[in-house]
Amino acid sequence: MVTRLVLILGDQLSPDVAALQAADRDNDIVVMAEVMDEATYVRHHPKKIAFLFAAMRKFARELASNGWRIAYTRLDDPDNAGSIPGELLRRAAEFRAREVLATRPGEWRLIRLLEEMPIPVRQFADDRFLCSEAEFRSWAQGRKVLRMEHFYREMRRKTGLLMEGGEPAGGKWNFDYENRKPAPEEVGHGGPLRFPPDETVGEVLDLVAARFGSNFGSLRPFAFATDRGEARRALEHFVTHALPYFGDYQDAMLAGNRFLYHSVISPYLNAGLLDPLEVCLAAEAAWKAGTAPINAVEGFIRQIIGWREFVRGIYFLEGPDYPRRNALHHTARLPALYWGAETRMRCVASAIEQTREEAYAHHIQRLMVTGNFALLAGVDPHEVHEWYLAVYSDAYEWVEAPNTVGMSQFADGGVVGSKPYVSSGAYIDRMSDYCGGCAYDVKAKTGESACPFNLLYWHFLHRHRARFEGNPRMAQMYRTWDRMDDGRRSAVLQGAERVLGRLSRGEVV
């Protein structure tokens, strides 16, 4: 029998991944490789690189213990070809293999590389998701707009999660209105389960420190789960200790508490260490047992079978050009503050400091702080996209691009969202304690002390009026702007121009 290669990528660490299901354990060779091309196409956070390399090494050992033959290349291997195609060609020559089996990657970049290989590569659909690309295309066909809420209801019906007969549990599909409480005075949860580095992780940390020590981000302390057993323990910890309060405070932010009641399992889910259905079933079981309320469980499950599956469908439906879209024609450079330069805005400084140290920030910090500011400041969305792709441990292009290019930056012109997610400082003040210790006054609407979010919010609406004034969800904002007297509008716009000028000159804002 002819030997084939079975490619396993760093975000395909699942024993039932499609390429393994199609392979012959007795004859085929599993190829895994730590390569510089994948570690450097953006300047990934060191924690992200370390997490993936450690998890890959442990998964390779798991496969070997189950009888698979493994050809694993470490980053410091002197024969390392430096790229996935290079490693496949090297191993094909070594084992006289004539074909590669691969699970379709989650990035158009890698899909194209495999399509251009000089040896045949059979790409199998990634069936670890609950909605296939074909199913999503069928759902989307003929719809004038694609909205997650409609898709989510179909996924509830398909999976049976939180369903009672043909009706949603609790009589409602969505309990989001109960999940918008501001930050609590105290958080009775110590955060996600943390795992001390073992020998394998320690070796990887030393390697990453030597090769990627100058990248943005703190490598140590490192506490991620790096195998399936640890990831399941992290999930169980969340369901037991944090899920009951997750719904109430999922949008809240605290400077002194980086995790509140969030699960922080997205790195494990997106790398394949956890399965989306097992995660949702664990949450549903807590509701059935009476240990977590339905608003928390529904909100959590919606993020996975609703939003996560929806954005993947959008990414593949919209095609390879999606990450480059720029519907609002924003061209400003990404400010240095995103890479840790000084800023007087406490909310932005806190979110970026957390990102640097944890390779993590929750969805409201990403959407309504760092994303909101970039959108208001007119930053080139591709630069924003590459920043998010680089700095977060759970970021792969299939999930990151629709969240950034679509939802956060409105660069897709409304494919993902019906309006841009912009706000003044009032929203951040309501949902966090950031504003209390800020150098700016969130209540000030004009002048040097005015919160930059306040100034830039109205400037954004003013400069994009032709596009957005007819949007029913934004009509009230324009009516408020129009009711301001000319002097105040002029002061706001001049203040915003000062902020934008300082950003463009690299000055502290």
User: Does one domain contain both 186 and 81?
Assistant: no
Residue 218 lies in a domain: no
> Per-residue pLDDT tens for 450-484?
999 999 999 999 999 999 999 999 999 999 999 99
What is the structure's pLDDT at 69? 98
pTM over 0.85: yes
Same domain, 345 and 363: yes
Examine the pLDDT at 1 and tell me if it is beyond 80.
no
pLDDT on residue 413: 97
429 domain residue, yes or no: yes
Q: What is the pLDDT of residues 382-414, one digit of tens each?
A: 999 999 999 999 999 999 999 999 999 999 999
Amino acid 497: pLDDT: 98
Q: Could you tell me if residue 52 is inside a domain?
A: yes
Same domain flag for 154 and 279: yes
In a domain, 325, yes or no: no
Examine the domain organization and report whether 143 and 120 are in the same domain.
no
Please check whether residues 177 and 275 belong to one and the same domain.
yes
> Residue 178: what pLDDT?
85
370 located within any domain: yes
Model pLDDT, residue 120:
97
Domain that holds residue 67: 5-124
Q: What is the mean pLDDT of residues 480-495?
A: 97
User: Model confidence over 185-240: pLDDT tens digits?
Assistant: 889 999 999 999 999 999 999 999 999 999 999 999 999 999 999 999 999 999 99
Mean pLDDT of 259-286: 98
pLDDT confidence of 145, banded at 50, 70, 90? very high
Assess if residue 464 is contained within a domain.
yes
| Residue 177 confidence (pLDDT) | 86
Question: Residue 186 sits in a domain of what CATH number?
Answer: 1.25.40.80
Among 424, 457, 451, which Cα is nearest to 438's? 451
Cα–Cα distance for residue pair 122/114, rounded to 1 Å: 9
Residues 336-373 have pLDDT tens digits of 999 999 999 999 999 999 999 999 999 999 999 999 99
Q: Which of 89, 124, 159 is the last residue of a domain?
A: 124
Are both 365 and 396 inside the same structural domain?
yes
Parallel/antiparallel/unpaired status of strands 121-124 and 100-103: parallel
Q: Is 445 found in the same domain as 385?
A: yes
Among 284, 318, 352, the domain-final residue is: 318
Q: Which residues of 44-54 are buried (b: 16+ CB within 10 A; e: fewer)?
A: bbbbbbbbbbb
pLDDT in tens, 425-442: 999 999 999 999 899 999
Residues 23 and 142 grouped into a single domain? no
Q: Is residue 205 part of a domain?
A: no
Taking only the tens place, the pLDDT of each residue in 297-342 is 999 999 999 999 999 999 999 999 999 999 999 999 999 999 999 9
Burial of 421 (0-12, 13-18, 19+ CB in 10 A): middle
Q: What is the rounded average pLDDT for all residues in the chain?
A: 97
Residue 130 binned pLDDT confidence (cut-offs 50, 70, 90): very high
Indicate the residue among 289, 318, 347 that finishes a domain: 318
* pLDDT over 90, % of the chain: 97
Q: Calculate the CA 314 to chain-centre distance.
A: 14
Same domain as 143, residue 80: no
- Shared domain for 37 and 165, answered yes or no, is no
Domain membership of residue 244 (yes or no) is yes
CATH number at residue 66: 3.40.50.620
Residues 307 and 351 in one domain: no
Same domain, 105 and 141: no
Q: How many folded domains does the chain comprise? A: 3
